Amino acid sequence: MNHRSSEKHFIGEAFSIQQLRKLGFDKMARPHSHTCYELYYLLHGERVYFMNGNVYVARKGDLMLVVPGDLHSTSSSQVEEFERVLVHFSADFLSGEDGAILEQAPFLESGMIHLPLKEQPELEKLLLGMLAECQEHHNFYETFVRQLLTEFLIRVHRSALGADDMPQPRHPMHQKISEISAYIHEHYREPLTLEELSRQFYISPAYLSRVFLKLTGFHLSEYIRVVRVREAQNMLRNTREKIQLIAEQVGFEHVSHFNKTFKSITGSSPLHYRKQHRM
């Protein structure tokens, strides 16, 4: 793997930025989520992105927006080389009323934003300006980075409002995996197996298993467990249902299996999670 990477630069725990160029096939070690926003802008090449249950192919000028809490992963497409700028920031990083931009589309949900060609040079200038400020540490650089990020978000907001909403063509298997993910999110309460899903979507079990792992970073059975546990987390935060009933409602036959799976994915027991996150 040949790569060129700048150091990841931080402003406290509220902001980070990194530019990275790689040659060769790779994938993110594990799908994950953040408590902050993620902006993944592709300067060159192509990447496959899985987030919020959908498979996307990002190319130059595409911005992948991930809102806090959404699972996502990235992997190589058939194009080996890519270069990207990755930004993480918390809502608190923006000053005062500037944070209101995050309450507007397209920042309300994760997705891919194809930025107009005429806007790309200025948006790339803003991203690289943030990177340069973090590298050089001139006086008031933190304030300047905050201003550059705010301008970037406003420009993305305006571009998204004027964008053509026609969906980009997708590879048939990318579409199929997105459909299978949507099916899992709709039917997670029911018994779901690789064999059943392969019959449902007319794909051999071996091929479905291999492609699902390649595009999402999850084994299929693991993804089903994650979807069930994330729904259980929502119920633990927002209802008073007993844990055994929640386990049944999200598709677990035995509460002991639910407790074990929940802890392996979240790091805490359902009861401890409820106590920590009770609304």
Q: Is the pLDDT of residue 18 over 70?
A: yes
Burial class (CB in 10 A: 0-12, 13-18, 19+), 64: buried
Give the pTM: 0.85
Looking at residue 163, its pLDDT comes to: 63
Residue 109 pLDDT > 60: yes
Q: Tell me how far apart the alpha carbons of residues 267 and 252 are, in angstroms, rounded to a whole number.
A: 18
Phi-psi label, residue 215: left if phi above 0, alpha if psi -120 to 50, beta otherwise: alpha
Confidence of residue 167 (pLDDT cuts 50, 70, 90): very low
pLDDT at 169 over 70: no
- Residue 29 confidence class, pLDDT cut points 50, 70, 90: low
Is residue 239 scored above 60 in pLDDT? yes
Mean pLDDT (the chain, rounded): 91
Q: What is the mean pLDDT of residues 61-84?
A: 90
On the question of pLDDT at 164 being above 80, the answer is no
Rounded percentage of the chain residues whose pLDDT exceeds 70: 92
Higher-confidence position of 209 and 278: 209
With a cut of 50, say whether residue 242 has pLDDT above it: yes
Average pLDDT (97-125) is 94
- pLDDT reported for residue 22: 85
